Amino acid sequence: MQFLLLMQQISMFPSKDTTVATVDFYGNVLGVSEGSATITVTTDDGAKTATCIVNVAAPKYTIVNIGNKDDGVTYTGTGFYYSVPRAINDDVYYMLGDAICTATYTFTGTGIDVVGNNDIHPIGNEYLITVTTILEGITGKLEAGCQIQYKPGILLDRTNTNPIDWTTPDAKATNASIVVMGISGLIEGEEGEAIASEHFGDRLDYNIPPNQIEFLKKMRKDNSKPIIAVITGGSPMNLSEIYELADAVLLVWYPGEEGGKAVANVLFGDVSPSGKLPVTFPKSLDQLPPYEDYSMVGRTYRYMSAEPMFPFGFGLSYTTFKFEMPIISNTIKKDKREVEISVDVTNIGNVKSDEVIQLYITTPASEGLKLPLYSFKGFKRLTLASGEKQTVKFKLNTKLLESINNNGESVLIPGTYTVNIGESSPGSRSEQLGSAKESVCKFQITK
């Protein structure tokens, strides 16, 4: 079996870490009281070794001397910590502070000379000892007899300078292609860290960089093999075209220290995904009104009447769930200040999976008040094996059901309340995308 894995070049992280020397924020080497600590790393062929001396007495942030112990040549790295790498082809990769640095090596005698210190790629402001990349996570899942081809297919937000394309032809010859796309902290985030952003980390364009969309179109043209789009980013993006072009879309945000393994577990079916969107993804920026005042009309799942691309709370799994009609315990009156709602949920698919059951309330209209269309009032996470059924119960007290009037006061509005229970926020869009049909019921609050 063959896989083709393509990534934005700017998001590519190399392999690393067989032995780690850790340094704290102040440049002190942890686990070494004085003198030097010697770390030996063996290259992949097992025949060459190099010794790295961690200098405890080194100046702040200058913590590692990388040297060939036979000829005495020394190179110095700076950062909060250093991890001795595994040699891959003609490159040695190592961590320095919050950056991944690339250095080439050549064998001389029985040691390794590190020559050069180029191509620093920021990875954010987290100081992690080890980071499992998406590439590493995927390659770690492959069994004997499988082949993976990796190519940096596209740049982050601009057309490739080199027009030669070795990626899209290979996609037609593989069993499946995994394309890692999206945005990164280089173009969104804190103003001092988004060094590729013209707007100091703010995003004025809701769309995915157009060069990525064009690349995916080339991948799709005359290609019937599966294409899986893995999307990175830290904010909503226009995924409309990606949704139409790819056979599957996996939003991974910024995956974190063990994110590569988590992504691979989902891609290879070892884990059924159960994540839910914490924000609404509009179909386009045109669906959002301009910020001319502080009105929430048209914004978020609470006040947005237009159909979104991906609703708040949406997220699919590898199975299918069914929701029965809810059962309501009572009507809220003066002497009964709580209502219990229960619903049976069944996994009617073939895969064991978690599901996040969500409950939304629609408050009856009240003259003079601009009430939300829906309000998220509760959720329950459960794990169901194939064919298993569980009863989920929610308790709603009057405090949860109160609204805010024009004087800023909490009031309990009498009338008929509508309850929506399902896999995402209410509306037909989630069902169109593959979610289970939501379950709806109503109850009364009397004066």
- Please report, for the chain, the start and end positions of each structural domain, with discontinuous segments joined by +: 2-9+132-271, 17-122, 321-445
Check residue 447 and give its pLDDT.
75
Q: Which of 110-114, 303-307, 357-361 has the lowest mean pLDDT?
A: 110-114
Question: For residue 225, what are the contacts with CB-CB under 8 A and spacing of at least 6?
Answer: 171, 172, 174, 175, 176, 177
Q: Report which listed range, 57-61, 118-122, 421-425, is most confident.
A: 421-425
What is the reported pLDDT for 179? 94
Query: Within a 10 A sphere around the Cβ of 350, how many other Cβ atoms?
Result: 11
Strand ranges (E), 85-196: 87-88, 91-96, 99-108, 111-122, 147-154, 176-182
* Mean pLDDT calculated for residue range 315-327: 96
Rounded mean pLDDT of 415-431?
96
Superfamily of domain 2-9+132-271 in the CATH hierarchy: Glycoside hydrolase family 3 C-terminal domain (3.40.50.1700)
Q: Which helix (H) or strand (E) holds 332?
A: none
64 forms beta bridges with 54, 77
Residues 6+ apart with CB under 8 A from 233: 182, 183, 184, 188, 251, 253, 254
Contact in structure between 118 and 136 (CB atoms under 8 Å): no
**Which one is predicted more confidently, 443 or 332?**
443
> What 8-state DSSP symbol labels residue 395?
E
Long-range (24+ apart) CB contacts under 8 A made by 66-71 are: 66/114, 68/108, 68/109, 68/111, 68/112, 68/113, 69/111, 70/108, 70/109, 70/110, 70/111, 71/108, 71/109, 71/111, 71/113
C-alpha distances in angstroms, 18 versus 69, 87, 95, 253? 19, 10, 12, 27
Burial class (CB in 10 A: 0-12, 13-18, 19+), 102: middle
**What pLDDT, on a 0 to 100 scale, did the predictor assign at position 9?**
30
Q: Structure tokens of 352?
A: 């064991």
User: Distance between CA atoms of 320 and 442, rounded to whole angstroms?
Assistant: 25
pLDDT value of residue 130: 74
The structure tokens 């945000």 sit at 253
Instruction: Give the count of beta carbons closer than 10 Å to the beta carbon of residue 40.
Output: 12
- In this prediction, residue 38 has a pLDDT band, given cuts at 50, 70 and 90, of very low
398: its two tokens: 């009057």
pLDDT at 321: 97
Cα distance between residue 261 and residue 53, in whole Å? 31
> In 3-state terms, what secondary structure has residue 19?
strand
Domain 321-445, architecture per CATH: Sandwich (2.60)
Q: What does the alpha-carbon distance between residue 16 and residue 264 come to, in Å, rounded to a whole number?
A: 18
Q: Which pLDDT belongs to residue 3?
A: 53
**Lowest model confidence (mean pLDDT) among 260-274, 285-299, 359-373:** 285-299
Paired sense of beta strands 403-404 and 410-411, if any: antiparallel
290, β-bridge pairs: none
At 331 the pLDDT is: 63
